[in-house]
Amino acid sequence: MSPTHDFHYRVGARVGGFRPGAHAGLAFGAGDDFVTHATLFARPDPRRIDLRASLRDPRGEWLVRLARQRSHIPVFALIDVSASMGFGTPTRKLDLAADFVAALGRAAAAAGDPLSLSAFDHAERPELRLAPSRQPGLVAQYAEQLRAAECRSGAHGGLIDALAPLAGRQAQVFLVSDFHRHDDGLDAALDLLGRARVTPIVIWSPGETEPPAGDGLLRLRDLENGRLRELWLRPELRRRWRSAVAERRRALDLHFQARGIRAFYMSDPFDGDALTRHFLEGA
Tell me: the pLDDT tens digits for 134-192? 999 999 999 999 999 988 877 777 889 999 889 888 899 999 999 987 666 788 889 99
Q: Can you give the pLDDT at residue 76?
A: 97
Which stretch of DSSP H or E encloses residue 221? strand 216-221
Amino acid at 142: Y
Q: Can you give the pLDDT at residue 211?
A: 78
Q: Can you give the pLDDT at residue 118?
A: 96
CATH class of the 75-280 domain in this structure: alpha beta
- How far apart, in whole angstroms, are the C-alpha atoms of residue 128 and residue 122? 14
- How far apart, in whole angstroms, are the C-alpha atoms of residue 236 and residue 81? 33
- How far apart, in whole angstroms, are the C-alpha atoms of residue 111 and residue 71? 10
Helices (H), 112-222: 136-148, 158-163, 183-192, 206-209
**Quick one: what percent of the chain has pLDDT higher than 90?**
51
Domain boundaries defined on the chain? 20-71, 75-280
How does DSSP classify residue 83?
G
**Quick one: what percent of the chain has pLDDT higher than 70?**
94
Residue 246 pLDDT > 90: yes
Where would I find the beta strands (DSSP E) of 222-273?
228-233, 264-266
Q: Can you give the pLDDT at residue 223?
A: 61
Picking from 12-21, 40-49, 243-252, which range would have the lowest pLDDT averaged per residue? 12-21
Residue 111 neighbours by CB under 8 Å, 6+ apart: 8, 9, 21, 22, 23, 72
* Pairing relationship of beta strands 63-71 and 20-39 according to DSSP bridges: antiparallel
**Torsion angle of alpha carbons 123, 128, 132, 137, nearest 10°?**
-160
Q: Are 119 and 163 in contact (CB under 8 A)?
A: no
Q: Can you give the pLDDT at residue 15?
A: 81
Q: Can you give the pLDDT at residue 57?
A: 92
Residue 4 pLDDT > 70: no
| Higher pLDDT among residues 79 and 235, named by residue | 79
Q: Can you give the pLDDT at residue 2?
A: 43
Residue 1 pLDDT > 70: no
Q: In terms of Cα–Cα distance, which of 60, 38, 59, 34 is closest to 49?
A: 38
